[in-house]
């Protein structure tokens, strides 16, 4: 079919990529190298190795990328308070550039001619994987089976798997296809089945990481987060690595029903898509980071960050993590975080993340002597405000007189 001799497949061991593995072997008559990323999806990865061995794969990579994922991708994104379309915390989007990077690393290591992925021709992930791959290795060949084969439904995939004796787990209890799910340390997403009707509420037993807010503990829990350079480095006084921080925040948030989202988003390819997401740790991180910035960032720096954030969010959502414009914005964002040091105290209660305190001994710009409602001992001359207001009103007064 082509001159491809070896291809690196992003392989989860689930339905789609298990079918793709066999399909690549049959259609391309090539050697397949499998790459499975542990980015905190919370699933046993050895079954993926066993499946790959069963189908004759000789080079199998199962890489623990949890620390790299949170340290080099999630944390930099949250320094910008990144939210796509006002709601989505980009849990799937931010994992794709890391997977693309590792696919190219393995292709270089093994001398592979191509890489392959299981993203469909309707979705965003094909764009994210391939833009990243081309940015890192411009001449790489990419095989996207969903754009080539005729197995264009999950039922057809299940039938193919049965025909070729490919083991598949997690079939839905009612006999249909399982939800399309994606999990990592930042979130878990759900698409498909009843969720394709945006008017229908998601099934209560669909959620995996979080309790329902109404079933969360009746007692609030206080948590203190310590920041250095815009990143959380300790929880309740215990120093932690990046991945450990996020895992602990997921546990705490999930316990209190924090981080459930049900939204319809605009995909880069043009369609609208309904998805449900659980992002407990990320929801806490966003709220707390804005709190520590509120006392450590200059007003105009904070406002400029807020103005640029939607563009930055779109770059990540659309797959441009490795682009020069994202690198440029990241340099600016990271420079703004030098003085984002201190602590934030939050209260978790029935789905809510409530900020109850924040302070920085070294970098707080909050001056109680100036902002106090009591006697400020001359720290602020209130008479100065009169001229300030008149100068800012000058253009308004001129226009008002003209229009009379």
Q: Taking 70 as the threshold, does the pLDDT of residue 177 lie above it?
A: no
Distance of CA 261 to the CA centre of its chain: 13
CA-closest candidate to residue 295, choices 380, 369, 226, 367: 367
Task: Tell me the two tokens of residue 165.
Answer: 């004796």
Q: Taking 60 as the threshold, does the pLDDT of residue 174 lie above it?
A: no
Active site residue 125: yes
Q: Give the count of beta carbons closer than 10 Å to the beta carbon of residue 195.
A: 20
Q: Taking 70 as the threshold, does the pLDDT of residue 254 lie above it?
A: yes
CB 206, CB 301: distance < 8 Å: no
Coil, helix or strand for 360? coil
Write down the catalytic residue from 12, 66, 93, 96.
Answer: 96
Report strand pairing: 188-191 vs 272-278.
antiparallel
Q: Taking 70 as the threshold, does the pLDDT of residue 19 lie above it?
A: yes
Task: Tell me the two tokens of residue 19.
Answer: 């079918």
Active site residue 96: yes
CA-closest candidate to residue 157, choices 138, 127, 180, 135: 180
Task: Tell me the two tokens of residue 142.
Answer: 């990419």
Sorted by sequence, the CB contacts under 8 Å of residue 197 that are 6+ apart come out as 274
Q: Which pLDDT does position 176 carry in this prediction? A: 46
Q: Taking 90 as the threshold, does the pLDDT of residue 91 lie above it?
A: yes
Rounded distance between C-alpha atoms, residue 270 and residue 280, angstroms: 28
Work out the average pLDDT over 349-359.
98
Write down the catalytic residue from 93, 116, 180, 336.
Answer: 180
| Confidence class for position 178, pLDDT limits 50, 70, 90 | low
Query: For the segment 309-325, what is each residue's pLDDT rounded down to a tens digit?
Result: 999 999 999 999 999 99
Active site residue 298: no
Q: What is the DSSP string of 9-32?
A: EE--SSHHHHHHHHHHHHHH--EE
Percentage of the chain surpassing pLDDT 70?
97
Residue ranges of the alpha helices (H) in 70-115? Answer: 75-78, 96-110
What domains lie within the chain, and their CATH numbers? 6-180 (3.40.50.620), 183-359 (3.90.1260.10), 369-403 (no CATH)
Write down the catalytic residue from 12, 16, 113, 274.
Answer: 16
Q: Taking 90 as the threshold, does the pLDDT of residue 87 lie above it?
A: yes
Task: Tell me the two tokens of residue 262.
Answer: 């049900």
Q: Which pLDDT does position 42 carry in this prediction? A: 86
Q: What is the pTM of this model?
A: 0.94
Residue appearing with tokens 């991945």: 243
Rounded distance between C-alpha atoms, residue 216 and residue 218, angstroms: 6
Q: Which pLDDT does position 181 carry in this prediction? A: 87
* Secondary structure, 3-state, 138-163: CCCEEECHHHCCCCCCHHHHHHHHHH
Half-sphere exposure of 186 (CA within 13 A, CB side): 24
Q: Which pLDDT does position 329 carry in this prediction? A: 98
| Confidence class for position 171, pLDDT limits 50, 70, 90 | very low
Work out the average pLDDT over 336-356.
98
Rounded distance between C-alpha atoms, residue 302 and residue 355, angstroms: 18
Sorted by sequence, the CB contacts under 8 Å of residue 273 that are 6+ apart come out as 123, 191, 264, 265, 267
| Residue 178 or residue 323, greater confidence | 323
| Confidence class for position 179, pLDDT limits 50, 70, 90 | confident
Query: For the segment 355-398, what is each residue's pLDDT rounded down to a tens digit?
Result: 999 999 999 999 999 999 999 999 999 999 999 999 999 999 99
Helices 324-336 + 299-318 axis angle, to 10: 150
| Confidence class for position 102, pLDDT limits 50, 70, 90 | very high
Coil, helix or strand for 116? strand
Rounded distance between C-alpha atoms, residue 344 and residue 356, angstroms: 8
Q: Which pLDDT does position 169 carry in this prediction? A: 66
Write down the catalytic residue from 113, 125, 182, 231.
Answer: 125
Residue ranges of the alpha helices (H) in 349-383? Answer: 368-371
Query: For the segment 43-76, what is each residue's pLDDT rounded down to a tens digit?
Result: 889 889 998 999 999 999 999 999 999 999 999 9
> To the nearest whole number, what is the mean pLDDT of the chain?
94
Rounded distance between C-alpha atoms, residue 346 and residue 238, angstroms: 16
Q: Taking 70 as the threshold, does the pLDDT of residue 173 lie above it?
A: no
* Secondary structure, 3-state, 187-232: CEEEECHHHHCCCCCCCHHHCCCCCCHHHCCCCCEEEEEEEECCEE
Q: Which pLDDT does position 193 carry in this prediction? A: 86
Span of 165-169, 264-268, 342-346 with lowest mean pLDDT: 165-169
Coil, helix or strand for 183? strand
Rounded distance between C-alpha atoms, residue 55 and residue 62, angstroms: 16
| Residue 51 or residue 294, greater confidence | 294
Rounded distance between C-alpha atoms, residue 129 and residue 123, angstroms: 11
């Amino acid at each position: 079919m082509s001159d491809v001799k070896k291809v690196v497949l992003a392989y989860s061991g689930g339905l789609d990529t298990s079918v793709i593995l066999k399909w690549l072997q049959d259609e391309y008559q090539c050697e397949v190298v499998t790459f499975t990323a542990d980015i905190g999806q919370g699933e046993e990865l050895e079954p993926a190795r066993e499946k790959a061995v069963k189908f004759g794969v000789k080079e199998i990579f199962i890489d623990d990328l949890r620390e790299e994922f949170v340290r080099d991708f999630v944390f930099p994104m949250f320094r910008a308070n990144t939210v796509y379309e006002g709601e989505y915390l980009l849990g799937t989007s931010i994992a794709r550039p890391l997977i693309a990077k590792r696919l190219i690393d393995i292709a270089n290591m093994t001398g592979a001619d191509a890489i392959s992925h299981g993203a469909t021709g309707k979705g965003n992930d094909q764009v994210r994987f391939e833009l990243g791959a081309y940015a890192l290795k411009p001449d790489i060949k990419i095989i996207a089976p969903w754009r080539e084969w005729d197995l264009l439904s999950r039922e057809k995939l299940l039938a193919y798997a049965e025909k070729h004796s490919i083991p598949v787990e997690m079939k839905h209890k009612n006999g249909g296809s399982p939800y399309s799910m994606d999990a990592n340390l930042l979130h878990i997403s759900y698409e498909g089945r009843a969720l394709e009707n945006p008017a229908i509420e998601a099934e209560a037993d669909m959620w995996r990481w979080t309790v329902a807010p109404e079933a969360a503990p009746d007692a609030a829990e206080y948590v203190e987060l310590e920041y250095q350079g815009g990143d959380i480095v300790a929880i309740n006084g215990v120093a932690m690595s990046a991945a450990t921080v996020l895992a602990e925040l997921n546990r705490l948030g999930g316990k209190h029903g924090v981080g459930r989202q049900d939204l319809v988003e605009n995909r880069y390819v043009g369609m609208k898509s309904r998805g449900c997401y659980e992002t407990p740790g990320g929801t806490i991180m966003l709220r707390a980071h804005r709190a520590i910035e509120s006392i450590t960032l200059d007003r105009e720096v904070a406002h400029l960050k807020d103005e640029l954030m939607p563009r930055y969010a779109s770059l990540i959502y659309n797959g441009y993590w490795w682009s020069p414009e994202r690198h440029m914005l990241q340099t600016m964002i990271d420079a703004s975080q030098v003085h984002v040091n201190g602590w934030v105290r939050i209260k978790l209660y029935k789905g809510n993340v409530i900020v109850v305190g924040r302070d920085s001994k070294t970098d707080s710009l909050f001056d109680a002597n100036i902002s106090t409602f009591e006697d400020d001992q001359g720290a602020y001359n209130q008479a100065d405000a009169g001229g300030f207001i008149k100068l800012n009103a000058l253009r308004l007064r001129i226009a008002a007189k003209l229009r009379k």
